[in-house]
Structure 1
Amino acid sequence: MTAVRYSEVMAYSQSLPDLWLLSDARNDELLPRALRALPPGSAFVYRHYHLDPRARRARWDELLPLVAEGGHLAVLSGSDDEARAWGAAASYGPPEAIGEAPELLRIAAVHDGHEIAHANAAGADAAMLSPVFETRTHPKAVPLGAEKFHALAALAEMPVIALGGMTFDRAKELGWTRWAAIDGLALKQDS
């Protein structure tokens, strides 16, 4: 089994995964277990901004077989060119970085109505909207909360992925099935 690559991207654009695991310095050690625990066909967003470029690529190459093992969507935080070169199926980044890459899914990181409008204009395939709840990643950021999240999500012309303090319980509370997390998935002890 291989990681989901661009040959399967069009199927994903119609039905994106519900669960999205994001990498981070604090969950790096837990990633192998977390990737194995994800339901088949989930998504993995590789960030690892804390590493220098060579080490970042090496860690991606170590994790990619586990992504493939689960049939997960391989998403690279970076440019479309970098995502293609690294064998990812999707790129992830700010809406102004969304380019023309029909062979990739393009996931826009958005936080407000202005960024959602930019993602709409750029033709992003999905938007990751954050922070929904308080989060350790951005402790000083004011969370959107459920009401504002839903109002902003309604502005998006593409599927929206909830991010920021998300857990299985918070997803139920929010009434949103498509969500992403760092700790909320990597630190989950049972499936």
Structure 2
Amino acid sequence: MTDERMGTGLWRALRRLPPGSGVVFRHHATPAAERRALFVRVRRIARARRLVLVAADPPLPHARHGRVAGATTWPAHDRREALAGVRAGAAVLFVSPVFATRSHPGAAGLGAARAARIGRGLGVPVVALGGMSERRWRRVRALGFAGWAAIDAWV
């Protein structure tokens, strides 16, 4: 996951991701022209490093994250949202926040077991998001998560 908090750490994060990893490009608060230019640069790096790239909103209308029909990825904070994502055609569900995170100030984390139940049995990969780190991933992967995502863990 990308956002403005990453600053120049974005480039280090993109270099650290192993090939086949995914990047959800967000940068919602960046002005449109600057956001599009940044996306183009991220896309060039993603292609060169064989990273999967989806955009949370335009600039790339064919690869989407969010509440749109045909979504590639979908955020799910509860079972209802997970089911909606599957109905919308999501290929991957991001369940969050598994743990407390700066992205959701003041919100308690769901906890690993509760987060795992949100997407269990829906037939799509479920990715743990929210307060995740490599150490926490080792703790939760046995619960059925297909992977983990983060912002702060990369910077």
Does the 8 A contact of 2:126 with 2:146 survive in 1?
no
Report what 1:19 is aligned to: none
What's the CA shift string for 1:106-164, capped at 9, x where partnerless? 10111101101111222211111100001011122221101201211215331111100
Between the two structures, name the one with larger relative contact order (CA 8 Å, sep ≥ 6).
Answer: 1
CA distance in 2, matches of 1:113, 1:155: 11
Letter in 2 for 1:92: H
Identical counterparts, % of pairs: 35
- Where in structure 2 are there 5+ consecutive unaligned residues? none
Does the 8 A contact of 1:98 with 1:108 survive in 2?
no
- Where in structure 1 are there 5+ consecutive unaligned residues? 1-21, 85-89, 100-104
**1:181 maps to which of 142, 145, 150:** 150
After TM superposition, list the pairs within 5 Å mapping 1:144-183 onto structure 2: 144-175=110-141, 176-183=145-152
Report what 2:100 is aligned to: 134
Does the 8 A contact of 1:128 with 1:160 survive in 2?
yes
Matched length: 152
CA distance in 2, matches of 1:132, 1:156: 18
**1:37 maps to which of 5, 13, 16:** 16
- TM-score calculated relative to the size of structure 2: 0.90
| Aligned residues: CA RMSD | 1.7
Report what 1:119 is aligned to: 85
Letter in 2 for 1:145: G
CA distance in 2, matches of 1:70, 1:25: 22
Report what 2:66 is aligned to: 93
CA distance in 2, matches of 1:30, 1:59: 13
Report what 1:48 is aligned to: 27
Deviation for aligned residue 1:31:
1.1
